[in-house]
Amino acid sequence: MGIYETQGFKLDNTGKRVVVDPICRIEGHLRVEVNLDGQNVIRNAVSTGTMWRGLEVILKGRDPRDAWAFTERICGVCTGTHALASVRAVEDALAIKIPENANSIRNIMQLNLQVHDHLVHFYHLHALDWVDVVSALKADPKQTSELAQSISIWPMSSPGYFRDLQNRLKKFVESGQLGPFMNGYWGNPAYKLPPEANLMAVAHYLEALGFQKEIVKIHTIFGGKNPHPNWLVGGVPCAINVHDTGAVGAINMERLNLVSSIVDRSLEFVEQVYIPDLLAIASFYKGWLYGGGLSSKSVLSYGDIPERANDYSAKNLLLPRGAIINGDLTRVHEVDLKDPEQIQEFVIHSWYKYPDEAKGLHPFDGVTEPNFALGKNVKGTKTNVKELDETAKYSWIKAPRWRGHAMEVGPLARYIIGYVQNNPEFKEPVDRVLKKLDVPLTALFSTLGRTAARGLECQWAAHKQKHFFDKLMGSLKAGDSATANVEKWEPANWPKEAKGAGFAEAPRGALGHWIRIKDARIDNYQCVVPTTWNGSPRDPKGQIGAFEASLMNTPVAKADEPLEILRTIHSFDPCLACSTHVMSPDGRKLAEVVVR
Amino acid sequence: MGLEFTFARTTAGMEDSSFDILVLGIGNLLWADEGFGVRCAEALAAEYELPQRARVLDGGTQGLYLLPYVQAAKRLIVFDAIDYGLPPGTMRLVEKDEVPRFMGARKMSLHQTGFQEVITAAELSDCCPREMLLIGVQPVELEDYGGSLRPQVRARIPEAVGVAVERLRDWGCDVRSRGATVAAVLNAGALGMGAYESGRPPAETACRIGDARFL
């Protein structure tokens, strides 16, 4: 298996090996190993999750109505999305219908998460893969102001504003306390922005730091608390009373007005800052269209944001559902989470044990039994692996496949599916961006395309948040204040055995939870999270996962500064923590990079 | 677990922007002693009534997502499991400017580098707490998925909570003992330490170990 072809890629692991660990932390750590050829082009890529996560097994025997609270703890980011998928799985199993208001509130919370997560990802976890902070010190504030004013009406754009900011940045750099800017590969030739664009982006990085704290207040209002909001099987756990003027108890008009104001301000920030920045940055990188990976071949979305409550069919979901395979952009396949032939997880290259590892298992029948064993070609020891052997087991992440295909999930997948379905909400913004940057549709299938799709989705989500807020207000004014259906709350009203699937589109992609209930207790629980799809290792056919594919054929300017690898992996938003977690334990290096 | 209880709890955290003192428990309660910080916050909220200006928060492993809360606070107390390199179960306090540096100085668990980042980001946005106190305990065991605190670490909770209460009072906070412990003020009932521990499936059906490289 040293050299072989799969999914249109030629894998060759004979060249110089570069190990980046940790590249970020996804429910554990993510480590990437690549082989470079003589021209420093990536010819083999291996992505591995280096930590066991067995949430499924610790849920056995617990109350299904509590599962959401545990699943919120799976990872540090998608707390609310996991909870949403979990309550939907239980509702599906027990045929529980939720009130329209509950659907609107869940959508507002989910869209709010998208807006917040995408914004924070772009500015605080990903921008510095494109923006050279040190170069910003050389910028001319006046020209920066001209640049900013040429792309947006955002008011904070005077020469004085940028001059002050630059001085603040200088002080930071001189004090040696670069903070989040400490670990960059500043000056690397893979950075392409002029100093003025860098300064503008750094200014907006700081503005976004201040602004993002407003956005999450919506979660506190509807979820009762944050960062681990409350959820409820059967609806949402908040009572609403529009006539109550006091602050105690139910959500009242004053709270709803606050929601409305946050929704409006989010939209303004996204449209006047995020999107113009994205386009400005992209215009300097449109010659760097690497990182497409599986996006032009196989993408998957479960869809989300039901317009009406309790209808989870594709036509009622505002975020598109479907699968595209083999690069056939003329056809979107229907996706069914409960069809045993569609979603299956394989473990032949994962540190788990199946009775027959040539076969995959549907999550209803999923098994999560660890089996940590290394291949014979591993370099190093069991406790200190220098180099993994990807021909054997090499990751704690399972390999999910859709009808046997490795799939990319996330904003780019959703936008490609919406585009192919000719849905104007997705197609028109994409066409506008492509036209503005003067690039063909194929440019979408790239790291930059992934980053752009996230920005467009942030804008889309901000608009839809407004839509569902208006819908909620309309319903409340019409006298409907129901937020929960408790008819089937008591297990006495449940069947002896039941099973269900719940799904959501997390900011970083398709999330599914599958539950089997027996005697009112959890009998089996399986989660397939977005990063399981994107970070998947190889399968029995040797097919590579989305991270691995995205790195293929990318030239690396400096082998010991894998900026291009980080840029592409970060574009998937594998976890909130990427930029924060690339620090090594001594807080100095970006990551441990070993070139052999 | 009753429905009334679910509804009653939801209003507890709604006064969102009125606090200037934050008590933050961080860590993952699913990973044995990693849960120390969250359990301390839980115990504090259960045993004491705090004035409106002080907020107790279960920060989990939220990293940068904790930034809004830290930005809102002028004073901050953090409970956490810290690898000080001291004997297991040892409690140690770290003050003020040392907190972020200290937290970034050692090989530690998942969320802690993330939290260091939160502090520097708060500084960058000119909204960093003026005073900080880190109440940390050296963990005994982290690699026990689905497990709970080890006895030596659990035994430190009252002391840790006591230190926090004393500091809150120094800061002029009117902290009152509830007299009796109130159940599940901070977290979903099922995650409360008692329910969490008693609902754990047996080891034969739920693997408890982690990756050999991290053991």
Predicted pLDDT of residue A578 = 29
Mean pLDDT for A273-283 is 96
Query: In terms of domains, do A421 and A564 share one?
Result: yes
How far CA A77 is from CA of A83, A503, A545, in Å, comes to 12, 17, 22
Q: Cα(A105)–Cα(A237) distance, rounded to whole angstroms?
A: 10
CA-based nearest distance A177→chain B, Å: 9
Q: Which residue has the higher pLDDT, A423 or A214?
A: A423
Question: What amino acid occupies position B110?
Answer: L
Query: What's the whole-number mean pLDDT along residues A196-217?
Result: 89
Residue A564, token pair as written in the block:
């291009």
Give the residue-averaged pLDDT of A16-24. 77
Does residue A419 share a domain with residue A299?
yes
* A135-165 burial: b if 16+ Cβ within 10 Å, else e: bbbebbbebbbebbeebbebeebeeebbbeb
**Residue A147 pLDDT > 80, yes or no?**
yes
Residue closest to A118 by CA, chosen among A423, A420, A460, A512: A460
Which of the pair, B90 or A220, is modelled with greater confidence? Answer: B90
Distance between B117 CA and the closest CA of chain A, angstroms: 6
Residue A112 belongs to a domain: yes
pLDDT at B111: 39
Is A524 among the domain residues? no
Report which of A413, A453, A47, A465 is spatially closest to residue A215, judged by C-alpha positions.
Answer: A465
Q: CA-to-CA distance for A334 and A342, rounded, in angstroms? A: 10
Interface test with B, best of A79, A213, A488 (most B CBs within 10 A): A213
* Fold type of domain B19-214: Rossmann fold (3.40.50)
- At A33-51, the pLDDT tens digits run 999 999 999 999 999 876 6
Q: How high is the pLDDT of residue A77?
A: 60
Instruction: Answer yes or no: do A408 and A473 share one domain.
Output: no
- Nearest CA of chain B to the CA of A567: how many Å? 19
Nearest C-alpha of chain A: how many angstroms from B121? 7
The whole-number pLDDT of residue A584 equals: 29
Where along chain B do its domains lie?
19-214
Closest residue to A583, CB basis, from B12, B57, B113: B113
Say if residue A74's pLDDT is above 80: no
Binned at pLDDT 50, 70 and 90, residue A323 comes out as very high
For residues A435 and A578, state if they share a domain: yes
Rg (CA), chain B: 17
Is pLDDT larger for residue A308 or for residue A532?
A308
Q: Are residues A340 and A411 in the same domain?
A: yes
Q: How many CA atoms lie within 13 A of A493 on its CB side?
A: 9
Q: Kindly list the residues from chain A whose CB atom is less than 8 angstroms away from the CB atom of residue B11.
A: 224, 248-250
- Look at residue B13 in the predicted model and tell me its pLDDT: 38
Rounded to an integer, what distance in angstroms lies between the CA atom of residue B173 and that of residue A202? 38
> Would you call A10 an interface residue with chain B, using a CB distance cutoff of 8 Å?
no
Q: Pick the more confident residue, A195 or A76.
A: A195
Residue A196 has pLDDT above 80, yes or no: yes
Structure confidence at residue B100 (pLDDT): 61
Nearest to B211 among A50, A237, A581 (CB): A50
Question: What residues in chain B have per-residue pLDDT under 50?
Answer: 1-15, 104-113, 210-215
pLDDT at B83: 76
Looking at beta carbons, which pairs linking A581-585 to residues 24 or more positions away fall under 8 Å? A581/A22, A581/A24, A581/A25, A581/B63, A581/B110, A581/B113, A581/B114, A582/A22, A582/A23, A582/A24, A582/A183, A583/A182, A583/A183, A583/B104, A583/B113, A583/B116, A583/B117, A585/B106, A585/B107, A585/B108, A585/B113
pLDDT at A190: 92
Which residue did the predictor score with more confidence, A219 or A325? A325
Residue A6, pLDDT above cutoff 90: yes
Please indicate, yes or no, if residue A514 is contained in any of the structural domains: no
Confidence at residue A144, expressed as pLDDT on a 0 to 100 scale:
98
Model pLDDT, residue A78: 66
Does residue A22 surpass a pLDDT of 90? no
Give me the pLDDT at residue A422, please. 97
Give the gap in angstroms from C-alpha A112 to the nearest C-alpha of chain B.
Answer: 13
- Number of folded domains in chain A? 2
Q: Check residue B14 and give its pLDDT.
A: 37
What was the pLDDT predicted at B192?
Answer: 78
Interface of A with B in 75-94 (CB under 8 A): 75-77, 79
Residue with tokens 């293929």: A552
Q: Which of A26-30, A179-183, A302-306, A425-429 has the lowest mean pLDDT?
A: A26-30
3-state secondary structure of A43: strand
Contact assignment for A66 to B1 by CB distance below 8 Å: yes
Distance of CA A584 to the CA centre of its chain: 23
Q: Is the pLDDT of residue A508 over 80?
A: yes
- Say whether both A260 and A361 belong to one domain: no
Model pLDDT, residue A177? 63
User: What is the model's pLDDT at position A566?
Assistant: 87
Grade residue A75 by pLDDT with cuts at 50, 70 and 90: low
The verdict on residue A146 lying in a domain is: yes
pLDDT digits (tens, 9 = 90+) for B48-93: 999 989 999 988 777 777 888 898 899 999 998 887 778 999 998 9
- Identify the H or E element spanning B46: helix B36-47
Where is average pLDDT lowest: A17-26, A409-418, A451-460, B27-36? Answer: A17-26
Contacts of B207 in chain A (CB under 8 A): 52, 54, 57, 368-370
Residue appearing with tokens 């598109």: A320
Q: Which residue has the higher pLDDT, A159 or A385?
A: A159
B188 with A120: Cβ contact below 8 A: no
State residue A115's pLDDT score. Answer: 93
Provide the domain limits for residue A264: 103-223+235-287+460-486
Residue A65 is nearest to which of B1, B15, B215, comparing CB atoms?
B1
> In this predicted structure, what is the pLDDT of residue A589?
37
Cα–Cα–Cα angle for B153, B159, B161, nearest 5°?
Answer: 100
Average pLDDT estimate for A224-247? 72
Alpha carbon distance A67, A84 (integer Å): 10
CA distance A522 to chain B (A): 11
Collect all residues of chain A within an 8 Å Cβ-Cβ radius of residue B12: 224-225
Give the pLDDT confidence score for residue B204 in this predicted structure: 64
- The pair of structure tokens assigned to B56 is 């107790």
Pairing of strands B48-49, B176-177: antiparallel
Residue B211 has a pLDDT of 42
For residue range A253-271, list pLDDT tens digits in order.
Answer: 888 888 889 989 999 999 9
Do A160 and A305 fall into the same domain?
no
CATH number at residue A384: 1.10.645.10
Query: What is the distance between the alpha carbons of residues A353 and A159, in angstroms, rounded to a whole number?
Result: 62
Give the nearest chain B residue to A395 (CA atoms). Answer: B211
B contacts of A486 (beta carbons < 8 Å): 3
**More confidently predicted of B14 and A355:** A355
Same domain, A242 and A142: yes
Are the CB atoms for A291 and A571 separated by under 8 Å?
yes
* Residues of B with Cβ-Cβ distance to A586 under 8 angstroms: 105
pLDDT at residue A437, rounded to an integer:
96
Query: Are the Cβ atoms of A237 and B30 closer than 8 angstroms?
Result: no
Q: Which residue has the higher pLDDT, A310 or A120?
A: A310
Burial of B106 (0-12, 13-18, 19+ CB in 10 A): middle
Share of chain A above pLDDT 70, in %: 89
- Note the pLDDT of residue A24: 55
Q: How far apart are CA A87 and CA A65, in angstroms?
A: 7
> CB burial class (10 A; 0-12, 13-18, 19+) of residue B213?
middle
Query: CA B53, CA B190: separation in Å to the nearest integer?
Result: 28
Averaged pLDDT for residues A524-528: 90
pLDDT of residue A210: 83
Nearest-10 Cα torsion for A19, A555, A416, A460: 80
Q: Give the start-end residues of each E strand in chain B.
A: 21-26, 48-49, 54-60, 75-81, 91-95, 131-137, 176-177
pLDDT for the residue numbered B161? 96
Digit-coded pLDDT (tens) for A565-595: 989 998 998 863 322 222 222 333 334 556 5
Q: Which residue has the tokens 């494109």?
A: A130
A225 touches B at CB < 8 Å = yes
- Which 8-state DSSP code applies to residue A444? G
Asked whether A570 and A558 are in contact (CB, 8 A), the reply is no
Whether residue A176 contacts residue A158, with contact meaning beta carbons closer than 8 Å, is answered with no
Which of A223-227, A381-385, A451-455 is the least confident region? A223-227
A226, A231, A256, A353, best to mutate vs chain B, most B CBs in 10 Å:
A226
**A41 and A173 share a domain?**
no
Mean pLDDT confidence for A313-330: 97
The answer to whether B121 contacts A248, with C-beta atoms less than 8 Å apart, is: no
